[in-house]
Amino acid sequence: MDCPPDPHRPRQGASAPADPSPEAARPCNGATGNATSGAPDVTEASSPGHGTVTAAHYIASQQFRHQKDILMRDLPTPTQPLFDSLPNGLAGQTARSRLHRQSDKASESPALSVAWARHQDEVVEAQRLRYKVFAEEMGARLTSSVPELDIDMFDGYCDHLIVRDMATLRVVGTYRVLPPHQAKRLGCLYAESEFDLVRLSHLRPKMLELGRSCVHRDYRSGSVIMALWGGLGEYLQRWGIESMLGCASVPMSDGGHYAASLHRLFSERFLAPIEYHAFPRLPLPVEDLNQQLEVDPPALIKGYLRLGAKICGQPAWDPDFNVADFLTLLRVNDMNPRYARHFLGLNQAV
């Protein structure tokens, strides 16, 4: 896989900013305030990233989006096969042997590629996949100006990681990431629409927000999410990212009892230190729900926890998506070295 994107250079077709350094980034068009981020089983369709922001943030983003030369970063060629870019071996397997999809129609493992979107049409492909997973499959009520695309005000500020099936060239997995300097331009994180993050302020200059992660329903055997994590690992190492933050979403089709029981489990075993707690703006009323079910976390959240992630307190309730969102924090220094090597390609504990 080519190098992770330089977040201070424009994508092809867009003019470069006058000063590409991160120190030169300023809140755009008067946006001020904050400086500079799971999953249903629902297996690997997660982090839909949903909610509302203030009117000031929305107006600033709309003005920014309609400028003639939108700031978009130049990103690497998206067609290099994944086999050469991921580290060998989970439980003795090679990267090639692990790259397979769950499909009744295919007996052979497809080749996958992972790269950062370079052009707007590639971003649109990711937005189309997000719509299929979140709206058509999960029933989320999305508000978008373009039919059958999941678009919000954060997309223009984010880098978009995509995985393709090289046989069909369709996008089968995606993450979007909001780097610190872009969050500073925007004036907020997505997670702030759901949580008060005042206790995490000191992390923001080197914190990456993850969101809108999803995998096509025919490719949820694990290889696509592994590919996405490989891309994220290179990105955070290249740009000196120290923390990752995101909303890990859990479905509430049972009325919220599963989510409430997960909250009890997380509080007992995976709760972040109190200095990293966040406070939901619309808390899930866990005290009114059954918290005593025997539950297993969704696959993607379980993967985060194995890496060393912590849950930052009580979940928020998002009625539009009918999910409970657990704010999840992963600090690079706290990563489990074994899983960091396998899933993120880190050569040593940091």
Residue 133 CA, distance from chain mean position:
14
Q: What is the DSSP letter of 110?
A: P
Which of 45-54, 136-145, 262-271 is predicted with the least confidence, judged by mean pLDDT?
45-54
pLDDT in tens, 159-180: 999 999 999 999 999 999 999 9
Closest by Cα among 119, 114, 118 to 76? 118
Is 22 inside any structural domain? no
Is 127 inside any structural domain? yes
Strand (E) positions, the chain?
112-116, 159-165, 171-178, 195-196, 207-215, 243-251, 279-280, 310-311, 316-318, 323-331
Q: How many domains does the chain have?
A: 1
What is the Cα–Cα distance from 325 to 266, expressed in whole angstroms? 13
pLDDT in tens, 177-227: 999 999 999 999 999 999 999 999 999 999 999 999 999 999 988 889 889
Is 32 inside any structural domain? no
Is 283 inside any structural domain? yes
Question: Burial code of 17-40, b = ≥16 C-beta within 10 A, e = fewer?
Answer: eeeeebeebebbeebeebbbbbbb
What is the Cα–Cα distance from 90 to 103, expressed in whole angstroms? 22
* Range 116-125 average pLDDT: 96
Residue 96 has pLDDT above 70, yes or no: no
Q: What is the pLDDT of residue 4?
A: 52
Do residues 262 and 295 lie in contact, with contact meaning Cβ atoms separated by under 8 Å?
yes
Q: What is the pLDDT of residue 142?
A: 86
- Please provide residue 331's backbone torsions phi and psi, each rounded to the nearest 5 degrees: -95, 135
Render 284-325 in DSSP notation, one character per residue: --GGGS---------HHHHHHHHHT-EE-SSPEEETTTTEEE
Residue carrying structure tokens 């499909």: 103
Q: What is the pLDDT of residue 322?
A: 83
What is the Cα–Cα distance from 312 to 266, expressed in whole angstroms? 9
Is 75 inside any structural domain? yes
Q: What is the pLDDT of residue 344?
A: 57
Q: What is the pLDDT of residue 166?
A: 94
pLDDT in tens, 273-328: 999 999 999 999 999 999 999 999 998 899 899 999 999 999 999 988 889 999 99
Structure tokens at 260: 């409430």
Q: In sequence order, which residues have a C-beta less than 8 Å from that of residue 123 and are 6 or more positions away? A: 117, 155, 160
List the beta bridge partners of residue 164.
Answer: 113, 171
Q: What is the pLDDT of residue 65?
A: 45
pTM of this prediction exceeds 0.75: no
Residue 85 has pLDDT above 60, yes or no: no
CA dihedral over 127, 173, 178, 281, signed as positive or negative: positive
Is 1 inside any structural domain? no
Q: What is the pLDDT of residue 56?
A: 53
Residue 110 has pLDDT above 90, yes or no: no
Q: What is the DSSP letter of 271?
A: B
List the Cα angle 292/321/287 in 5-degree steps: 30
- The enclosing domain of 156 has a CATH number of 3.40.630.30
pLDDT top residue among 16 and 224 = 224
Q: What is the pLDDT of residue 237?
A: 86
Q: What is the pLDDT of residue 36?
A: 34
Within 10 angstroms of residue 264's Cβ, the number of other Cβ atoms is: 16
Q: What is the pLDDT of residue 83?
A: 32
Is 313 inside any structural domain? yes
Closest by Cα among 183, 174, 234, 235 to 209? 183
Show the domain range for 108. Answer: 38-344
Average pLDDT of the residues of the chain: 76
Structure tokens at 281: 């703006």
What is the Cα–Cα distance from 169 to 62, expressed in whole angstroms? 32
Is 266 inside any structural domain? yes
What is the Cα–Cα distance from 316 to 11, expressed in whole angstroms? 35
